[in-house]
């Protein structure tokens, strides 16, 4: 079974969780936690042992489905879930016809056979949607996302696929570990700056996009399989028309970051960022300087900064030494 951390995801804070937890324990108090750019959801997953109320947000459709599958406090029929797992592991795969997914992504991001299986399962989920509660549907769809992400022919995102002659059949449908959640989760898929004006919490965790790499484009296949509206695709990477484009990946990033920090109705703000300012790849260079972050956070309250050596994500074209992650902790002024 898949844990919520079992994803390949650019910028994941999984390896930084101990440091984030240490900062929360040492500097912050309260009962509610606002994960503003939640990404994989691993930070909220760790924080639920400290905070009975979690607010979790991300603007990707695929991430919302995953949060609802893991965290939403709704009942589900585990026997039904297991029956569909058996169904998706044992049907006659050799009889499958081509479908939207295999026609577009077969022999590229997945083997032709695996792409047929993935497309069939997604169609089957839609055709049987009336048989599921929302929680059950999200568990089964999130399980498909994790299962396909595990074997995708990529370097960890979907901006491109690896050019190899033969892609092996490797797909196997398995379930996420959807355990009943303790505490209360409020789950959103909204623009972070707009949501910050509407919610209140004790602690906000802010891990914004760092560079020009748009997450909605990096993970377009996971968005495609989640929405399943079968859009037209273009380019070598087979991407749909652009949507959910973040201002944090543009030159306006310092402006929207400052707007967010001042909109947050919280007692403490935790910000994580890194130092990829001198990357040889322009798309990897940070959009907000450390000096700007320091200035904005210090204007909001008393701020400290913790440095942590951290491996740099490398897709084969980017070289960066002495990579560090920074954790800023701000106690907000009234």
Question: Is it the case that residue 320 has pLDDT exceeding 50?
Answer: no
Q: What's phi and psi for 47, nearest 5 deg?
A: -75, -15
The number of C-alpha atoms within 13 Å of 23 and in the hemisphere containing its C-beta is: 25
Cβ–Cβ under 8 Å, residues 272 and 16: yes
DSSP 288: S
Q: How far is CA 179 from the centre of its chain?
A: 19
List, as own/partner pairs, every contact residues 247-250 make where C-beta atoms lie below 8 angstroms and the sequence separation is at least 24, other chains included. Answer: 248/208, 248/209, 248/287, 249/209, 249/211, 249/212, 249/213, 249/214, 249/287, 250/212, 250/287
The confidence score (pLDDT) of residue 287 equals: 87
* Separation of alpha carbons 66 and 298, rounded Å: 35
Average pLDDT over residues 1-18: 95
Q: How far apart are the first and last CA of the chain?
A: 45
Strand partners, 325: 274, 308
* Separation of alpha carbons 171 and 153, rounded Å: 11
Q: What's phi and psi for 110, nearest 5 deg?
A: -145, 160
Confidence at 180, pLDDT banded by 50, 70, 90: confident
Cβ–Cβ under 8 Å, residues 54 and 35: yes
210 or 187: which leads in pLDDT: 187
Average pLDDT over residues 179-206: 95
Confidence at 181, pLDDT banded by 50, 70, 90: confident
Question: Is it the case that residue 40 has pLDDT exceeding 90?
Answer: yes
* Separation of alpha carbons 44 and 21, rounded Å: 11
Residue 62: both structure tokens together: 């695929």
15 or 320: which leads in pLDDT: 15
Average pLDDT over residues 157-175: 95
The confidence score (pLDDT) of residue 323 equals: 67
Q: How do residues 96-133 score in pLDDT, each as one tens digit? A: 999 999 999 999 999 999 999 999 999 999 999 999 99
* Separation of alpha carbons 30 and 19, rounded Å: 19
Three-state SS at 328 = strand
DSSP 34: E
Q: How do residues 252-308 score in pLDDT, each as one tens digit? A: 999 999 999 999 999 999 999 987 655 555 555 788 999 999 999 999 999 999 998
Question: Is it the case that residue 315 has pLDDT exceeding 50?
Answer: no
Average pLDDT over residues 191-211: 96
Q: For residue 123, what is the enclosing H or E element?
A: helix 112-127
Average pLDDT over residues 30-51: 97
Average pLDDT over residues 51-71: 98
């Amino acid at each position: 079974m898949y844990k919520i951390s079992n994803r390949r995801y650019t910028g994941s804070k999984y390896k930084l969780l101990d440091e984030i937890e240490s900062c929360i324990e040492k500097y912050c108090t309260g009962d509610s936690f606002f994960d503003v750019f939640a990404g994989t959801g691993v930070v909220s997953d760790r924080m639920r042992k400290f905070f009975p109320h979690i607010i979790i947000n991300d603007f990707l459709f695929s991430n919302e489905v995953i949060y609802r599958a893991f965290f939403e406090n709704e009942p589900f029929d585990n026997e039904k879930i297991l029956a569909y797992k058996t169904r998706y592991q044992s049907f006659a795969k050799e009889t499958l016809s081509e479908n939207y997914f295999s026609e577009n992504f077969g022999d590229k991001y997945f083997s032709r056979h695996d792409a047929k299986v993935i497309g069939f399962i997604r169609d089957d989920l839609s055709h049987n949607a009336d048989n599921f509660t929302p929680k059950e549907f999200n568990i089964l769809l999130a399980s498909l996302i994790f299962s396909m992400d595990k074997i995708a022919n990529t370097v960890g995102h979907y901006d491109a696929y690896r050019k190899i002659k033969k892609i092996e059949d490797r797909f196997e449908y398995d379930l996420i570990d959807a355990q009943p959640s303790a505490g209360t989760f409020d789950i959103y898929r909204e623009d972070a700056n707009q949501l910050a004006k509407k919610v209140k919490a004790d602690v906000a965790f802010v891990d914004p996009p760092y560079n020009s790499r748009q997450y909605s484009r990096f993970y377009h296949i996971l968005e495609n399989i989640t929405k399943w509206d079968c859009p037209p695709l273009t380019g070598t990477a087979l991407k749909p028309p652009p949507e959910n484009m973040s201002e944090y990946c543009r030159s306006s990033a310092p402006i929207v970051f400052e707007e967010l920090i001042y909109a947050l109705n919280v007692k403490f703000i935790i910000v994580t960022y890194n130092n990829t300012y001198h990357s040889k790849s322009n798309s990897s260079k940070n959009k907000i300087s450390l000096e700007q972050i320091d200035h904005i956070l210090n204007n909001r309250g008393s701020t400290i900064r913790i440095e942590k050596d951290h491996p740099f994500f490398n897709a084969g074209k980017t070289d960066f030494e002495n990579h560090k992650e920074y954790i800023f902790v701000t106690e907000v002024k009234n």
